Amino acid sequence: MPKKRTLPYIILGLLAQNREMNGRQITNQFQNEIGEFWKAAHSQIYPELKKMTAEGLIVKSTKADNDKEIYYSITAAGQAMLMQWIKEPLTDLPVSQDMFSLKMFFIDDKADYELKRLIEEEISLLETQLKHLQEREKLLFGGQEPKKAFGHFLILQRAIARLQSQLDWLKSLNI
């Protein structure tokens, strides 16, 4: 069974929140906010924008002062598709490519040096990620619950809580 395309829904969501965006602005969202929990390469975004335009989910336009830069806006069909997708029940368990867990799985002996090294590496990586997310939360929301972008706020809080929980567990191992 072919895998369902998810990228169009993300792009539709961005356009629903931002009225119109150019390709660079959409790509930047994957390097910043969306990139915290979903990855998409520049080479994926532009072909997807072309497909979505052909499907009538988005439309292209230019500004009067710059007819070379293309902006995208969501259509009524795109808005309907986005709302339908949001309403779909969650059926897939989260799948991740967690190399730390995969490598840990194959360590047999508690005294194995690699166990300690892997744990220390993971702690360092998680602490760096946690600091980054806390800085993003402060920058974007200033420690306040927002009136808009509430879902973004909740996802950011969830990511922070998840990382903090992982760090607490790793540090409790005393290995």
Q: Which residue ranges make up each domain of the chain?
A: 7-87, 99-172
pLDDT at 97: 58
**For the chain, what's the residue count?**
175
CATH of domain 7-87: 1.10.10.10
pLDDT at 98: 73
Pure H helices in the chain: 7-18, 23-31, 42-54, 76-87, 99-105, 113-141, 150-172
Q: To 5 degrees, how large is the angle CA 27–CA 73–CA 56?
A: 105
- State whether residue 160 is helix, strand or coil: helix
Strands 21-22 and 66-74: antiparallel
For the beta carbon of residue 46, count every other beta carbon within 10 angstroms. Answer: 13
Output the tens digit of pLDDT for each of the chain's 175 residues. 455 788 999 999 999 988 899 999 999 988 887 877 788 888 899 999 999 999 999 999 998 888 789 999 999 999 999 999 888 876 665 555 577 887 887 787 888 888 899 899 999 999 999 999 999 999 989 988 888 889 989 999 999 999 999 999 999 998 8
